[in-house]
Amino acid sequence: MGGTNANVPPTRTVVDSSPSYGRRLRVPSRTQRTPTDREHTVTALPADLQADEPLIPMPALTPGALRTAVESLTPSRMPTFISDLVDATTRAQQLQSFAPLRSFVHTWGVFVAIQRYPSRAARLRHLEDVVSAGETDPTAAIAEIRKIHADAEAEAGL
Per-residue pLDDT tens over the stretch 94-152? 999 999 999 999 999 999 999 999 889 889 989 999 898 888 888 888 999 999 999 99
First to last CA, the chain: 47
Per-residue pLDDT tens over the stretch 30-86? 333 333 333 333 334 444 445 578 889 999 999 999 999 999 998 999 999 999 999
In the chain, domain spans: 55-156
Percent share of the chain, pLDDT over 90:
46
Per-residue pLDDT tens over the stretch 13-22? 333 333 333 3
- 3-class secondary structure, 96: coil
On average, the pLDDT of the chain sits at 75
Taking a C-beta distance cutoff of 8 angstroms, is the pair 121, 27 a contact? yes
Percent share of the chain, pLDDT over 70:
68
pTM over 0.85, yes/no: no
Other Cβ atoms less than 10 A from the Cβ of 129: the count is 12
When comparing pLDDT for 91 and 12, which is higher?
Answer: 91
